[in-house]
Amino acid sequence: MGETKGKSRKGSGGNIILILTGLLMLTVAVLAVYIALNIGATVSEYSAGASELRAVKKELREARKERDAELAEKRDLEIDDEELEALRSETFAAAAQLESDIKAGRNDNRICYLTIDDGPYYHGKKLLDILDAYDVKATFFLTTANGNKLPDRGELSAASMYPEYLRYGHTIGNHTYSHDYSEGGIYSSAKAFMDDVEKQEEFTAEATGGFRPKIVRFPGGRATAGGNLGDIEEALSAAGYGWTDWTVDSGDSWGKDKSSPELIMSRVKKAAKDQKIMVVLCHEWSRDTEKALPGMIEYLEGKGYIFLPLFYDSQMVSK
């Protein structure tokens, strides 16, 4: 987390759009559809030029309404998994190329990977609504530290929230099952850490009907792993996982005497001065993040940032 909440706890263009349109007619795999469509659409809309961005977004919102209606009629349609994977791979390759172009100075746009830790919380629904209003996709690093219960709505199961992230088109990441980085917890050995990661993966797969996240975030950040960090990273890599920290700590977990919407905005603006590709750390339970989110999105978009969900082959994900 970064985190004081508690230890137990102008890239690709028309060809991508055509591919994604075809994908929508084939699949009922909600995560794949949403991620593929929205990454391609985001790259596409920024390629259209900043002056047309708002108009394009309006068109995309209308297209999404039609898409959702189509998806509702295709619940029983079977899909060729190999074809789906090929389409997803091509879409993510376009996003990876955009990263490379930005870093090489061939593209003046920038990328923001907004990451939101510690869910699921019922409060997350408010963040999902804000992100949806701005057509922004994020990455939610989820944990089951409270068991199959929502911390802020204990009568509801944690599993009930998982499909919501996919329905809105976001990436789900693995934040370990227990989030316990106290002495003797997940960082006590590589095996202890991997057991917790795998347990969270199984929970996610069951809650979503099969989705298995392959991007991990260390509770407290990589530095918290201490002397076992190297062994843990080696084990993650061997098991096919990627992992990522952040380049911007929003400060939303610094406690009520320090955290505020103004602090979040200040830290994001400071980072935007020199970070062409940023990974912003926020937390799902934070009311300050909820308040700051609209202004953050508008400010960064005004600075040429494209919001994308993280993907395994991103340069911001270590393997």
Q: Specify the CATH number for the domain of residue 247.
A: 3.20.20.370
Question: Which amino acid, 208?
Answer: T
In a domain, 317, yes or no: no
In a domain, 313, yes or no: no
Give the CA distances from residue 37 to residues 158, 218, 275, in Å, rounded to whole numbers and listed in that order: 27, 29, 26
Whether the full predicted model's pTM is greater than 0.85, yes or no, is no
From the CB of residue 66, how many other CB atoms can be counted at a distance below 10 Å? 10
**pLDDT at residue 245 tops 80:** yes
From the CB of residue 203, how many other CB atoms can be counted at a distance below 10 Å? 20
Summarised one tens digit per residue, pLDDT across range 4-16 is: 444 444 444 444 4
- The structural domain count of the chain equals 1
In a domain, 240, yes or no: yes
In a domain, 1, yes or no: no
Tell me phi and psi for residue 141, to 5 degrees: -90, 110
Domain range for 99: 14-307
In a domain, 5, yes or no: no
List all residues 6 or more positions away from 303 whose beta carbon is below 8 Å from its beta carbon: 110, 272
In a domain, 319, yes or no: no
Q: What is the pLDDT of residue 56?
A: 55
In a domain, 26, yes or no: yes
Asked whether the beta carbons of 254 and 261 are under 8 A apart, the reply is: no
More confident residue, 284 or 72: 284
Summarised one tens digit per residue, pLDDT across range 22-81 is: 443 343 344 444 444 454 554 554 445 544 555 555 665 666 556 555 544 444 444 455
In a domain, 39, yes or no: yes
Burial of 222 from C-beta contacts in 10 A (0-12 / 13-18 / 19+) = middle
Summarised one tens digit per residue, pLDDT across range 187-223 is: 999 999 999 999 999 999 999 999 999 999 999 999 9
Q: What is the pLDDT of residue 53?
A: 53
